[in-house]
Chains A and B, each alone.
Chain A
Amino acid sequence: MSLTSEQVNKIAHLARLGIDAGDVDAYARDLSGILDLVAQLDAQQTDQVQPMAHPLDQVQRLRPDVVTEENQRELFQALAPQVEEGLYLVPKVIE
């Protein structure tokens, strides 16, 4: 299985991950190598096997729907790159 540079660019776009144009070929080579490694799984018969999502096959624990956290907006927003009047600032995306 080998990925083209075009495919790498498409995956990078899906992941919203900037990759320098000069590095794309190297990523294509490395990712193709990983997919070759993963291809070993194809030989394993798994038709009757249930997929395993959790080591202990636990189900999601439920809790009463009550407020347990207090609002700490100022504390959390102190970490943000840019905030104003309690709002996170992001670039304008709609003209």
Chain B
Amino acid sequence: MHNKTIAELARGLRSGAYSSRELTGVFLDRIKQNQDLNCYITVTEERALEAAERADARLASGEAGPLTGIPIAQKDIFCSKGVKTSCGSKMLDNFISPYDATVVEKFHAAGAVLLGKLNMDEFAMGSSNETSYYGAVKNPWDQNAVPGGSSGGSAAAVAARLAPGATGTDTGGSIRQPAAFCGVTGMKPTYGRVSRYGMIAFASSLDQGGPMAQTAEDAAIMLQTMAGFDAKDSTSVDRPLPDYTAGLNDDLSGLKIGLPREFFGAGLNSEVAARVEAAVDEYRKLGAEVRELSMPSLQLSVPVYYVIAPAECSANLSRYDGVRYGYRCADLTDLYTRSRGEAFGAEVKRRILIGTYALSAGYYDAYYLKAQKVRRLISEEFQRAFSEVDVLMGPVTPTTAFGIGEKTADPIEMYLSDIYTIAVNLAGLPAMSIPAGFIEDKPVGLQIIGDYFTEAKLLNIAHRYQQVTDWHGRIPQGFE
């Protein structure tokens, strides 16, 4: 039953084919058998079995929702009451959250079963999961390759069937890039659609949580529970929640797809380009019209991001001072400096330093203000594109999953692996990555970008593709 989708499992639970207790046991066993992938930082076995029993009671009483009894795993960036919430950092290795993130609370309320907390790049800063204090996660398709990051544990867990669904967060591609590398479906919703309350902050104007699962239908079911207005998040958007599963099968005839030329330039591996073009051809068969367009400002998204994200990170991470919670150094002279120096890893330090520099006296206008202005140009370019087409499509990543250790020596090279995903965060738009084929047994993702609050349309577009292809249903060898 571990290969079934969330939608299928929900039907199985309702029909009584198996109980949530049995289902949860299957996943807990698989997690134990596959510890070498390093997907989980914490497994909450006891709580999971208790939650499963409560879910079974709810199922028996006929009060179950679509996620009741479904095992789910949370990225270890979401605070979970009474459970270690590390954010992949030594800084929070001893942090037991005193409260639940809104997203965690919503899954609880829906009757979902929390299996545990998933590995990730330290404070979500990374594109390979290699910056985690708990070590790299292995890609189930090729255990010498990275799963992507920062939601690498989430993507690998779904691909290896160690959870039917997982949460991720996406600041510059951290849901979509690992989804592409691991061959799963991931969605980064519109900024403000999913509450950030209790989601440990990295870059507050870019961070957004979203679902990762086998299929678009499952992502829709999860998003239905995750999304919605939350008074506890000051940037949460107060806007009615559509039914994300209602339009999944809508016809795509006449859909206007735009292909930004800048997404298909010299940096893109030609075989990845071929898989993406083949996926676009499937959409032509489904009745879509495809046209090319030009978005020259996209080229500037990486430099803009590496001012704005570090600037916001340097401010957000100033809270870790060794006084109220988290790591404290043994020798108390220079308490702040030592605690922070000893507990943050190299990539987090680089970003705190670059952000501090960009915000320091005399440099603010040249870096931060300039980046915010170019950010607007990028955002306006998307709006111009959406006046001509309904969605944009392109690659998620320039290559398939790279090798563990291959890009750790040069931070810039690592940053450039997010070249196609970052602009979406700067503009605050929703976007998905869906499996669109393989190159030498490694998955390739197709990116679908929509205008603000078009999550339902994106899910519909992804779902229709998954009705005529089976890439999303492939399982890595050894995990069948």
* Interface flag for B328 (CB, 8 Å): yes
Inter-subunit contact B335/A61 (CB<8 Å): no
Check: A71 CB closer than 8 A to any chain B CB. no
Expressed in whole angstroms, the Cα–Cα distance for A76 and B375 within the complex equals 38
In the assembled complex, A67 has its CB within 8 A of some CB on chain B: no
A15 touches B353 (CB 8 A): yes
Please state if A76 and B379 are interface contacts (CB–CB under 8 Å): no
Name the interface residues of B338-371: CB closer than 8 Å to any CB of A.
338, 340-342, 344, 346, 349-350, 352-354, 356-357, 360, 367, 369-371
Decide if B96 is an interface residue (CB 8 Å cutoff): yes
Question: Cβ of A66 < 8 Å from any Cβ of B?
Answer: no
Closest approach, in angstroms, between the C-beta of B202 and any C-beta of chain A?
15
Complex interface bits, A17-51 against B, C-beta within 8 A gives 1, otherwise 0: 11110010001001101110111111010100111
Complex CA distance for A62 and B96, rounded to whole angstroms: 31
Establish whether residues A46 and B374, one from each chain, have CB atoms under 8 Å apart when the complex forms: yes
Which chain A residue has the least Cβ–Cβ distance from B331?
A91
A90 within 8 Å of B by Cβ? yes
Across-interface contacts of B372 in A (CB, < 8 A): 51-53
Residues of B within 8 A of A76 (CB): 98, 324-325
With known contacts A76-B98, A91-B333, A56–B412 Cβ distance under 8 A: no
A17-B344, A34-B350, A46-B377 known; A40-B300 Cβ under 8 A: yes
Cα–Cα, bound, A30→B310 (Å): 14
The chain B residue with its CB closest to the CB of A61 is B234
Q: Mark B92-106, 1 if CB is under 8 A from A, else 0.
A: 000110100000000
With contacts A17-B353, A58-B192 taken as known, whether A38 is within 8 angstroms of B96 at the C-beta atoms is no
A79 contacts which of B96, B341, B429 (Cβ < 8 Å)? B96
Bound together, the chains give a CA A39 to CA B300 distance in angstroms of 10
Proximity bits, A60-74, B CB within 8 Å = 1, else 0: 110100000000100
Residue from the list A19, A33, A34, A54 in contact with B235, Cβ < 8 A: A54
A15 to B371, CA, bound (A): 21
Is residue B32 within 8 Å, beta carbon to beta carbon, of the partner chain? no
Residue of A with least CB distance to B192: A56
A94 within 8 A of partner (CB): no
B254 at the interface (CB under 8 A from A): no
**Known pairs A34-B412, A49-B377, A76-B324; A41 contacts B353 (CB<8 A):** no
Contact string against A for B residues 74-92, beta-carbon threshold 8 Å, 1 for contact and 0 otherwise = 0000000000000000000
| CA A34 to CA B459, docked complex, whole Å | 36
Interface size on A, residues (CB 8 A): 50
Q: Cβ of B427 and Cβ of A55 under 8 Å apart?
A: yes
Residue interface bits B176-211, CB-to-A below 8 A is 1, else 0? 000000000000000110000000000001000000
Instruction: Tell me if A27 and B350 are in contact (CB < 8 A).
Output: yes
Known interface pairs A55-B428, A58-B235; A17-B352 also in contact (CB < 8 Å): yes
B323 CB within 8 Å of chain A: yes
Grouping DSSP codes into helix (H, G, I), strand (E, B) and loop, the B interface class, with mixed when no group exceeds half, is: helix
Contact B352 A15 (CB under 8 A): yes
Contact with A81, one of B205, B238, B307, B323 (Cβ below 8 angstroms):
B323
Encode B256-267 as 1/0 by CB contact (under 8 A) with A.
000000000000
List of B residues within 8 angstroms of A90 by Cβ: 323, 335
B336 in the interface (beta carbon within 8 A): yes
Q: How far is the CA of A59 from the CA of B429 in the complex (A)?
A: 18
> Contacts A31-B350, A52-B379: A18 and B342 contacting too (C-beta < 8 A)?
yes
Which residue on B lies nearest to A37, using beta carbons? B303
Whether A56 contacts B336 in the complex (CB less than 8 A), given A37-B412, A51-B373, A79-B325, comes out as no
Cβ B370 vs Cβ A46 within 8 A: yes
Please provide the chain B residues from 314 to 340 with a CB less than 8 Å away from any CB of chain A in the complex: 314, 318, 321-325, 328, 332-338, 340
B321 / chain A contacts, CB cutoff of 8 Å: 16
Q: Pick the residue among A20, A30, A56, A60 that contacts B350 (CB under 8 A).
A: A30
Q: A16-B318, A31-B354 are known contacts; what are 8 more A-B pairs with Cβ within 8 Å?
A: A8-B353, A16-B340, A17-B344, A17-B352, A17-B353, A38-B303, A44-B297, A58-B237
- List the interface of chain B (C-beta within 8 A of A): 95-96, 98, 191-192, 205, 231, 234-235, 237-238, 297, 299-300, 302-304, 306-307, 314, 318, 321-325, 328, 332-338, 340-342, 344, 346, 349-350, 352-354, 356-357, 360, 367, 369-377, 379, 410-412, 415, 426-429, 452
